[in-house]
Structure 1
């Protein structure tokens, strides 16, 4: 939806648009008083009926300008608003024989409605035209010259006030629209985050499950007891993965650095990769532990899935974690893997630096995350 502009007809965002319009009917009391004082007869009856219909038309026309905000239908078109203004003008003219100069009060309502509902330039043009017409009528009709001063100014002031209200409503509409767009972006970002987390969790868990399943299949004819142990590990891994997925969907998932070190040891052993892992993570500050845990998880998943490595090493310090292998992980150096992309996003969120690419000292792949001190 395009943002509202000052050339766009305003749609009042109040929950009771009819009440907003009806409040201002108080000023028609002057017309009503003049009509009631007029001698009984046809013009008095016509004037009273026209006054009632004028008020109803005004309330209906203004209240329909708020419909899109409350889902009650489509707003009136410019043609419908124009017809409504002409109907109001006709009812005002019908009051003239009995109400006299007091009918000029209706001009204020017509001008305000035009500025509120028509495109801004058209509404202002109508308001200016009405103000000029009122001033001319006062000067042309002799008995109005002394009793009707100020009506033209009232039309101008009403149009100016309505213009200010219109601008305020439009700014409020743009603000609400911006808030809705931000909410939609937040939902999209959260969905993307959850999707990335699910990819990381399932990518790691299913890789280990696949490796252990292959190992268990090979051990069935060689070492039945060890095959049973591997199958038991498979069941445990599957349950843990299911729990992680459920917790992630509920935004309750946690990840621990010691747990990922232990999981890396099991995964690398199952893939027949010799590993040098840190024995503890006590020196790592709490603020860095989750990021380092994700780094180890993703790097170990890549080693098991892609590298064909025979040896891997995890180096851990308070402000950095580095995973090295001697395999063939060069295809991931460009960051094309979805897991590494998610890891890079996490690193960027914490102001950390992620390096992923070929090792400089020997064949193999290197993943390093460093957090500024």
Structure 2
């Protein structure tokens, strides 16, 4: 089931502001009250109150639809309301005379509020012409002010709808972008988690099967396999925890996965190891920094066509066939890498190749 999209935190004063405009129905109400002893006055009062209720109901429904990012209410809902408003307005005019024509302005506003422009515009024109024609009724006088009121209110609501239409489009675009961002993050996380765990879990399974077979054949080797199995499990668990925490810490499998994507985007042939199992736990983060720094320099500065990463229990190397760095290995990234390497008793070694450049982190 698709999630219903809505405008967050809608204002609660909207109905109050809309209700204020019902002030202009006071004139027909007072006219009906002044003739409350006559049937026409009672009918006029009832029709006016019913008209106000129908108008507010339509306005509230249109507002609720726009809060759900629906630009126009469905016709099966709005047309009956418009028909009711027209009939009640006709009763107001018939029972209250000229004061009942105030309903025409509300009818025009209601049509503009719920109908498409191509429908609302001709209806408004007809209502303006009809208002002017009412000036021919005896003793009513000119209805230019009524026609102007219909036109001014309709133009104002047209403008409001245009603003709301743009706001709805912006909200829909923002929500679509947010949904795409979440989906992209899920895809990226699934891909990285697969790269982090795929090989490790396979090796763990193979080693567990081997250790089980060796228990009755070579107990010492079985113990060695089980110890290696424990180390691999702990490393895999640490990598997963770091990934779930939002990549606040580097992981060697994660950096290799991101290096593969970055090199492919830079159209550089990536030759990366498929396994990090032989790297000791205490060197995995350092080697992850080595991969990040080395691959970043290859992409930014080398102009290389090929980048190769090699790992061993004591060494991590990033090499390329480009023109080498623009400086002699004195950048802030390499300085930071030297500090991290020194903290675990390793050294950073850089040297030029023919062609290319090599960045190594070695612990003797």
TM bracket, shorter-chain basis: 0.5 to 0.7
State the TM-score, normalized to the length of structure 1: 0.62
Greater displacement, 247-256 / 163-172: 247-256
The 8 Å contact of residues 284 and 319 in structure 1, kept in 2 or not, is answered as no
The 8 Å contact of residues 250 and 289 in structure 2, kept in 1 or not, is answered as no
Pair 56,258 (structure 1): closer, same or farther in 2 beyond 3 Å: closer
Partner residue, 1:189: 184
CA distance in 2, matches of 1:18, 1:204: 61
Partner residue, 1:115: 112
**Deviation of 1:38 (Å):** 3.7
How many residues were matched structurally? 285
Q: SS state of the match for residue 144, structure 2?
A: coil
**Deviation of 1:96 (Å):** 2.5
CA distance in 1, matches of 2:210, 2:255: 21
Q: Identify which of 32, 51, 54 aligns with 2:29.
A: 32
State the TM-score, normalized to the length of structure 2: 0.64
**Deviation of 1:264 (Å):** 9.7
**Deviation of 1:36 (Å):** 2.7
CA distance in 1, matches of 2:238, 2:206: 20
Pair 30,318 (structure 1): closer, same or farther in 2 beyond 3 Å: farther
Partner residue, 2:170: 175
CA distance in 2, matches of 1:282, 1:178: 38
**Deviation of 1:226 (Å):** 4.1
**Deviation of 1:137 (Å):** 0.8
Pair 235,126 (structure 1): closer, same or farther in 2 beyond 3 Å: same
Structure ranking higher on relative contact order (CA contacts 8 Å, 6+ apart):
1
CA distance in 2, matches of 1:149, 1:266: 85
Pair 160,60 (structure 1): closer, same or farther in 2 beyond 3 Å: same
User: Which stretches in structure 1 are left out of the alignment for 5+ residues?
Assistant: 2-12, 271-276, 293-297, 304-311, 321-360, 362-367
CA distance in 2, matches of 1:177, 1:128: 32
Pair 116,258 (structure 1): closer, same or farther in 2 beyond 3 Å: closer
**Deviation of 1:95 (Å):** 2.2
The 8 Å contact of residues 283 and 318 in structure 1, kept in 2 or not, is answered as no
Partner residue, 1:150: 145
User: Which stretches in structure 2 are left out of the alignment for 5+ residues?
Assistant: 3-9, 257-272, 298-307, 323-354, 360-364
**Deviation of 1:62 (Å):** 1.7
CA distance in 1, matches of 2:45, 2:164: 34
Q: Identify which of 213, 222, 226 aligns with 1:227.
A: 222
Partner residue, 1:201: 196
**Deviation of 1:127 (Å):** 1.0
Pair 154,197 (structure 1): closer, same or farther in 2 beyond 3 Å: same
Partner residue, 2:100: 103
The 8 Å contact of residues 204 and 232 in structure 2, kept in 1 or not, is answered as yes
Q: SS state of the match for residue 144, structure 1?
A: coil
The 8 Å contact of residues 34 and 98 in structure 1, kept in 2 or not, is answered as no
C-alpha distance after superposition, 1:86-133 (max 9, x if no partner): 221222222225532222221111001101111221111111111110
